[in-house]
Structure 1
Amino acid sequence: MNKSPNTAPSRPEHQTEVLIIGAGAAGLLAARDLAAAGRQVLLLEARERVGGRVHTLTPPGFTQPIEAGAEFMHGAVPLTRALLAAAGIGWQDTAGRTYIVRDGQLQADADFFAQLPLLVEKLELLTEDLPLAEFLAREFPGAQHAQLRATATQFAEGYDAADTHRVSAWALRDEWAAGGADDSPRPVGGYGPLLHWLAAQAQAAGATLHLATVVQEIRWQPSSVEVLTETGAKYHAQQVLCTVPLGVWQLPADQPGYLRFMPDLPAHRAAAAQLGFGPVIKIVLEFREVFWHERLPELEFLLSEAPVPTWWSQLPNPCPQLTGWVAGPAAQRLQAASAETILQLALDSLAELLAVSPLVLQEQLCASHVRNWGAEPYAYGAYSYPTVGSRAARAALATPVAGTLFFAGEGLHEGPDAGTVEAALRSGQAAACTLLASRA
């Protein structure tokens, strides 16, 4: 990989045909396709690694790689599967049983969708879209429906990382009718190898990759773009494809990480503000042994109302790892919390759910890793969720400007794969096609 230096005393200037901002899934696939089509491509990534919100790593103390970011393959994801196959990477179905702890009582084989046929039925009859919270209050009022409202809210916040006062009831209807999280295999070895393969493919086709290159400003006029970085380096191109996450688009102008366009793009910023972008915290723990087997045989998922409410194992991989998950408003409330505070909250939650003492948990713990995506630079959130009116907003945000500025990313993809790696890949692929057609 070509890596630009953190300091640039001579403030070099770089010239290319196409600049791509962001080396996540969308940017890497677009870079590969554009370079393969003969375009001169330079890819700029703020981090010192590729992948964006995909980050497969092996932190100190862990015996095998973990996923700090995207982990599962939700739904059919045909493009993801095709690319994994081309890269020689397999995938493996999850396995085991789902447990739920409610009011301190442990229940096995909880099925969110089987519990709520009336909810899905009411959603099917909905003739106009509205936020989930408004739908629940209108269709399921009163104490007799309190548990249904709580369960639906918990699922939307936990699985979709959504604010129920913004998330689209229509979109959740489609997601839940399709089975939601039912089919969720994992790439063998994590998503990281796929992203590194895409980077290698792009470079083999002629693309250049600069890591640790933080873009601060994009100055543009038709067919001419100047990109300025925080080190003072300048990049010039005829066209730019911007693949930064929605979290970057939604930053206030006075906050670090804000990406400036000159002239500005008020319609695109307004569209980005209408879209949902949820925070997530992942806590990955590795223990000496699978000590929870007696209480929770074949544990796959554990759902609860604890401060860290959702946990899962790596089954069918028997390694003694558990991943904790906090999403949506609960993660937002912890955005400023330290990793140490979050880890302690996770351990306290897990000790209660597994009915073991915190001391036993500490004795079993070998390694931990906390990733707070809402506070993560260059991301400021985990993934998008559909709001009322999001279809029009996504289309507006993805609209090219003057055949010069193009846009991609998982938050711009319209379809059943919203908020996934598949969405990012499809968006990058589509943007590359649009960019190529603009100069055909």
Structure 2
Amino acid sequence: MKNADIIIIGAGAAGLMAARLLTQAGKKVLVLEARNRAGGRIHTVSDDAVGHIELGAEFIHGDLPVTLELLDKAGIKYNHAGGEMWHFRDGKFSVGDEEMDGWDKLMDCLNQLKEDLSISSFLQDYFPHEKYQPLKKSVLRFVAGYDSANPDKASAFALREEWQNEDNGAQHRLEGGYGLMIDYLVKEIENHGGAIQFESAVKSVDHSTGTVTAINGSVYEADKVLIALPLGILQLPAGNPGAIEIKPSIKEHQFALQQIGFGAIVKVLLKFDEVFWEQIGGHDLSNMGFILSEERIPTWWTQVPKHQPILTGWLGGPVAKEYEHAPDEELFEYAIKALSNIFGISYEEIESKLVAHYVVNWTVDEYTRGSYAYDTTTSVKAREVLNNSIDNKLFFAGEYLYSGPSMGTVEAALTSGKKAAESILRV
């Protein structure tokens, strides 16, 4: 007996956005989610003192149309998340964007590039001289950190589009956290007759008959199935305990899934009993939004313009992948050592100020297996395949299917979910 018109596998932003639109269109929708909560890589936890802490997605990176329209409809407020950019290098603080000698030439060369190649190859081919080593180091570090990407695979074309469309002045945080957006989507789905079933990890999907079945011990049947899982799960080799088996095999789509990059990330959140870093070594850091360093956990940010006692550490890209199986305690120690070195305060003193801490290694999270997608030189063709359904029965959605300057963001996930729902409604 058919359980729904459409089964959606995954209750992250993409799956929930699709479910909202499909239920609004009168479709009977069942969402199957492996976790005991909705949101996926959005995970807001409540805190009595500061209100909320974001273990996953935190920022709105720009004036992004789909995200902001959804928040406006939900009545969720968002605030500017600006602040100064600081650097700590060789024992010294500096403020402002780093002057990168050769950046204008780099963008000129990127704009003239006719055939795509990895950003590492691009830098090697166009900037081989020793004088450009600082530029290359900065670019590669940014690609690994911000995009959580492997520079040996990341597309120069995609990075060119991202850098041409940057608007560092239009950064926002949700007042109350991204969890409010997830709660809104869940309520919208349920109010329109949809259902979300948690702790329901789907192991296989069978599309061999007129309907599609999703199996997780129980068997669920629908006219169509939308797979809205993280790319890291879909890239798992067959036989891996977390992999999803699709029968009959969809070899072209499975090959395409491997052609898009999926990064690695470690996020460390530290809550202290006071904001101790605003006056350090004669420097006024009270408006510091970010500080970049050479430490093992190199990137840190505050809650500016709010003066809350929270520091967030960030390690991305291939280096984060190296710590895939590092114990949380080891990563926590790296974080404290990093702050000790940056602020010139003993490890013991910083630890004594600590009230709570969270280490989130998304790379080993069993339902994610990484951070977010980035474009490789083969991603464009891969998305052309993945955006096509299999016999109008099996569809895909996820931030990895987004094409544009906001790759790897909540905007990308919401946009993909919206497009997937529209595709399903057309057939």
TM-score range, shorter chain: over 0.9
Q: Which residue of 300, 322, 329 corresponds with 1:333?
A: 322
Aligned to 2:248: 263
Q: Which residue of 40, 50, 74 corresponds with 2:28?
A: 40
Q: Does 1:381 align with 2:370?
A: yes
Aligned to 1:5: none
> Aligned partner of 2:161: which letter?
D
Q: 1:82 to 1:104 in 2, by over 3 A?
A: same
Distance across 1 between alignment mates of 2:321 and 2:274: 32
Offset of residue 63 of structure 1 = 4.0
Aligned to 1:73: 60
RMSD: 1.6
Q: 1:306 to 1:205 in 2, by over 3 A?
A: same
Normalization by structure 1: what TM-score? 0.93
Secondary structure of 2:279's aligned partner: coil
> Aligned partner of 1:247: which letter?
G
Q: Does 1:108 align with 2:95?
A: yes
Structure 1 runs (4+) deviating above 3 angstroms are: 111-115
Q: Does 1:298 align with 2:283?
A: no
Aligned to 1:395: 384
Offset of residue 130 of structure 1 = 0.5
Distance across 1 between alignment mates of 2:418 and 2:99: 34
Aligned to 2:40: 52
Offset of residue 222 of structure 1 = 5.2
Residues 222, 403 of structure 1: 8 Å contact kept: no
Q: Which residue of 209, 212, 222 corresponds with 2:196?
A: 209
Aligned to 1:87: 74
Stretches of structure 1 lacking an aligned partner (at least 5 in a row): 1-12
Residues 101, 132 of structure 2: 8 Å contact kept: no
Residues 222, 404 of structure 1: 8 Å contact kept: no
Aligned to 1:8: none
Q: How does 1:20-419 map to 2 (within 5 A)?
A: 20-58=8-46, 63-111=50-98, 116-179=103-166, 181-221=168-208, 223-229=210-216, 232-295=217-280, 296-419=285-408
Stretches of structure 2 lacking an aligned partner (at least 5 in a row): none
Offset of residue 118 of structure 1 = 2.2
Offset of residue 266 of structure 1 = 1.1
Offset of residue 256 of structure 1 = 1.5
> Aligned partner of 1:210: which letter?
Q
Deviations 1:22-45 (A, max 9, x none): 001111111111111111111100
Residues 100, 134 of structure 2: 8 Å contact kept: no
Distance across 1 between alignment mates of 2:209 and 2:117: 39
Secondary structure of 2:82's aligned partner: coil
Distance across 1 between alignment mates of 2:154 and 2:171: 22
Offset of residue 417 of structure 1 = 1.8
Deviations 1:213-236 (A, max 9, x none): 01000011253111110xx11101
Secondary structure of 2:226's aligned partner: strand
> Aligned partner of 1:430: which letter?
K
> Aligned partner of 1:423: which letter?
A
Distance across 2 between alignment mates of 1:294 and 1:14: 63
Deviations 1:258-279 (A, max 9, x none): 0000101111111110100001
> Aligned partner of 2:337: which letter?
D
Q: 1:101 to 1:134 in 2, by over 3 A?
A: same
In percent, how many aligned pairs have the same letter? 39
Deviations 1:355-396 (A, max 9, x none): 111111011111100100100011101110011121111121
Q: 1:181 to 1:282 in 2, by over 3 A?
A: farther
Offset of residue 75 of structure 1 = 2.2
> Aligned partner of 1:108: which letter?
V
Query: How many residue pairs get matched?
Result: 423
